[in-house]
């Protein structure tokens, strides 16, 4: 841009010098002065162009060239010409340059300075000549033309810059929401970028599913180390979290220390709401000084809001609100595409795992059972004790492989369970495990119903499944107990066995287990994913006890 302006400035200076050289007659002294001034103006324009060839332009360069663009036509008009000279077009170039560099206000100020200089010259000349020589109508028309040109060019420049910024930010955000990436990672990158654009200190996204009535909240506790945490919102808190009584898009800022707030709001179509419609609104986030909230749709089944705390809007809030609204209209469908892609891929993976599990059950497991039965027949028929002992060992290995394959098959099958099916599923899982492994396992539940979300229920079922497998493989236990209960608003899961225990003595929570690098890694990961806590109590030679607590309110949704 500065290169284009510098080249245009040099061409205009050369044309002005050429036009002055063709001017004949008049005052010789003023003629020579004009030549010198225009030569200096041309040399200055050439110097600016050469400067750009060796160095990158900065803000100081733009300011000084803008001063030059106003100063040279002012010097020409004050020295050699009248206010209604043709060289007033140099002021118009200064106005165009301001529009290229900045926005509406800067361009309007440049045109006002140009008009003030023309009027000052006219005032000075009126003291020495007759008023008729000034030609007030022509002077008035030229001043009005400069003001109108400044306003129009500034408005066009401001609109063009806003559109360019919107396109640039939208493209950046769309590049972050790439189909194929993890949804949480894509959402995290988008939220961080929006927080940077609007200078917010905290950001979160809250969405609701129309078909199921469930609502979720994705929030980042820190922008310095961004990490999205997904929470499912309790039904009683859904309306408050979604701000159902608030406008579609709004910016709210506190007025001093009192509870009053200034509100600028738009409806779904981007029309500004009248002050009477928003005057009674209160700040929905208590610890925020300002709040930017943008409503949006994600497909036909999801709707939500982007919430930025302590965002900075500056002047022209309505325009910036509309800008944020337009950006979210384009980003929300892209994020929804990422979500759908991940959902479809998960469904395809679950279908493939189910197919492999069926193949294992109908193929490998049945074949191993058949071989194990034949070995058992041979063992019963043989009279050689050594051969019988070896066949018994082989039969035990075959049974062990059948159990391992069945556990693998169970882990591969997708779990489509919710809070109403969890207790029955765990009871069936314990019964099958006890029958297949020969370990006496009891399931006890002090709860009649579970209020956890389906995603958390699936993780709890996997934890129980993994724990039972560990008991069979590593503990050498003869009996175990799986118990569900409640404690201080949390669901409590206890798994107790009388086996060998862990290779440590004592009672340790999740943080201590991580620091010691002890405990089952997969179970710890699953417990952490649902926002729970875990305690392991171990006495080597006398068994171990696993206690897991999961919050029922404000619980996290895995994945």
Q: What is the mean pLDDT of residues 202-227?
A: 82
Query: Comparing 519 with 364, which gets the higher pLDDT?
Result: 519
CA distances from 544 to 285, 347, 426, 430, 504 (A): 45, 37, 20, 18, 10
E strands, 23-76, in order: none
Tokens of 392: 């018994």
Average pLDDT, the chain: 82
pLDDT tens per residue across span 110-133: 999 988 888 887 787 777 654 445
What is the maximum alpha-carbon separation in the chain? 141
* CA dihedral angle for residue 302, residue 239, residue 268, residue 201, rounded to 10 degrees: -90
Phi and psi at 216, nearest 5°, equal: -130, 155
Residue 83 confidence (pLDDT) above 70? no
Cα–Cα distance measured from residue 34 to residue 31, given in angstroms and rounded to the nearest whole number: 5
Lowest-pLDDT choice from 204-208, 215-219, 261-265, 349-353 = 349-353
Rounded CA Rg of the chain: 39
pLDDT tens per residue across span 419-434: 888 888 889 888 988 8
User: Which residues, 6+ apart, have CB-to-CB distance to 141 below 8 Å?
Assistant: none
User: Which residues, 6+ apart, have CB-to-CB distance to 250 below 8 Å?
Assistant: 263, 264, 265, 266, 278, 281, 291, 292, 293, 321
Q: Which pLDDT score, from 0 to 100, does residue 554 have?
A: 43
pTM of this structure: 0.58
Tokens of 130: 């007759």
Phi and psi at 303, nearest 5°, equal: -140, 155
Q: What is the mean pLDDT of residues 11-25?
A: 82
DSSP class per residue in 212-263: T--EEEEEES-SSS--EEEEEEPGGGHHHHHTTTS-SEEEEEE-TTSS-EEE
pLDDT tens per residue across span 455-494: 788 888 888 888 888 888 888 889 999 999 888 878 899 9
Q: Which pLDDT score, from 0 to 100, does residue 228 have?
A: 79
Q: Which pLDDT score, from 0 to 100, does residue 555 have?
A: 43
Phi-psi region of 199 (alpha: psi -120 to 50; beta: other; left: phi over 0): left
Q: Which of 370, 371, 391 is nearest to 380 (CA)?
A: 391
Residue 175 confidence (pLDDT) above 80? yes
Q: Which pLDDT score, from 0 to 100, does residue 132 have?
A: 46
All domains in the chain, ordered by first residue: 2-171 (no CATH), 181-343 (3.30.450), 416-559 (3.30.565.10)
Q: Which pLDDT score, from 0 to 100, does residue 7 have?
A: 92
| CA dihedral for 317, 323, 329, 334, sign (positive or negative) | negative
Lowest-pLDDT choice from 12-16, 18-22, 177-181, 227-231 = 177-181
Query: Comparing 301 with 362, which gets the higher pLDDT?
Result: 301
Q: Judging by DSSP bridges, how do beta strands 544-551 and 490-497 pair with one another?
A: antiparallel
- Structure-token match 């859904």, residue found: 238
pLDDT tens per residue across span 337-387: 888 887 777 777 767 766 776 666 666 767 777 787 888 778 777 867 788
Phi-psi region of 555 (alpha: psi -120 to 50; beta: other; left: phi over 0): beta
Lowest-pLDDT choice from 98-102, 126-130, 317-321 = 126-130
Cα–Cα distance measured from residue 279 to residue 341, given in angstroms and rounded to the nearest whole number: 42
Cα–Cα distance measured from residue 4 to residue 65, given in angstroms and rounded to the nearest whole number: 13
Band of the pLDDT at 293, cuts 50, 70, 90?
A: very high
């Amino acid at each position: 841009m500065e290169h284009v302006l510098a080249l245009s400035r040099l061409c205009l200076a050369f044309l002005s010098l050429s036009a002055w050289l063709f001017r004949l007659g008049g005052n010789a002294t003023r003629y020579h002065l004009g030549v010198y001034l225009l030569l200096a103006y041309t040399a200055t324009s050439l110097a600016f162009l050469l400067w750009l060839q060796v160095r990158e332009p900065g803000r100081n360069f733009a300011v000084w060239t803008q001063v030059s663009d106003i100063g040279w036509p002012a010097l020409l008009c004050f020295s050699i010409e009248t206010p209604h000279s043709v060289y007033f077009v140099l002021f118009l170039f200064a106005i165009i340059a301001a529009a290229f560099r900045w926005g509406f206000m800067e361009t309007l100020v440049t045109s006002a300075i140009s008009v003030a200089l023309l009027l000052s010259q006219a005032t000075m000349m009126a003291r020495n000549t007759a008023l008729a020589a000034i030609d007030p109508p022509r002077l008035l028309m030229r001043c009005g033309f400069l003001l109108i040109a400044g306003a129009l060019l500034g408005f066009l420049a401001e609109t063009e810059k806003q559109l360019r910024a919107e396109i640039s930010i939208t493209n950046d955000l769309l590049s972050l929401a790439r189909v194929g990436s993890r949804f949480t990672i894509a959402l995290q990158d988008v939220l961080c970028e929006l927080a940077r654009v609007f200078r917010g200190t905290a950001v979160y996204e809250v969405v609701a599913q129309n078909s199921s009535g469930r609502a979720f909240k994705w929030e980042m506790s820190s922008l310095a180390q961004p990490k999205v945490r997904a929470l499912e919102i309790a039904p009683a808190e859904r309306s408050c979290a979604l701000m159902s009584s608030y406008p579609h898009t709004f910016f709210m800022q506190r007025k001093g220390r009192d509870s009053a707030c200034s509100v600028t709001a738009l409806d779904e179509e981007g029309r500004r709401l009248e002050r009477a419609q928003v005057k009674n609104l209160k700040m929905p986030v208590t610890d925020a000084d300002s709040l930017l909230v943008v409503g949006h749709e994600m497909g036909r089944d999801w709707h939500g809001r982007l919430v930025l705390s302590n965002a900075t809007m500056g002047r022209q809030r309505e325009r910036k609100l509309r800008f944020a609204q337009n950006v979210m209209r384009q980003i929300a469908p892209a994020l929804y595409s990422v979500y759908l892609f991940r959902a479809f891929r998960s469904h395809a993976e679950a279908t493939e795992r189910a197919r492999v599990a069926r193949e294992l059950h109908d193929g490998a497991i049945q074949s191993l059972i058949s071989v194990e039965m034949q070995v058992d027949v041979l063992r019963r028929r043989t009279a050689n004790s050594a051969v019988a002992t070896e066949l018994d060992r082989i039969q035990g290995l075959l049974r062990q492989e059948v159990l391992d394959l069945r556990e693998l098959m169970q882990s591969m099958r997708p779990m489509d369970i919710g809070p109403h099916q969890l207790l029955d599923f765990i009871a069936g899982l314990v019964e099958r495990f006890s029958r297949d492994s020969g370990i006496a396992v009891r399931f006890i539940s002090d709860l009649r119903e579970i209020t956890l979300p389906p995603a958390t229920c699936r993780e709890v079922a996997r934890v129980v499944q993994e724990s039972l497998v560990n008991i069979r493989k590593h503990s050498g236990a003869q009996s175990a107990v799986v118990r569900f209960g409640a404690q201080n608003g949390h669901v409590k899961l206890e798994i107790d066995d009388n086996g060998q225990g862990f290779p440590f003595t004592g009672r340790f929570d999740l943080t201590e287990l991580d620091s010691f690098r002890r405990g089952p890694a997969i179970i710890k990961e699953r417990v952490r994913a649902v926002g729970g806590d875990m305690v392991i109590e171990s006495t080597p030679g006398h068994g171990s006890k696993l206690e897991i607590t999961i919050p029922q309110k404000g619980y996290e949704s895995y994945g």
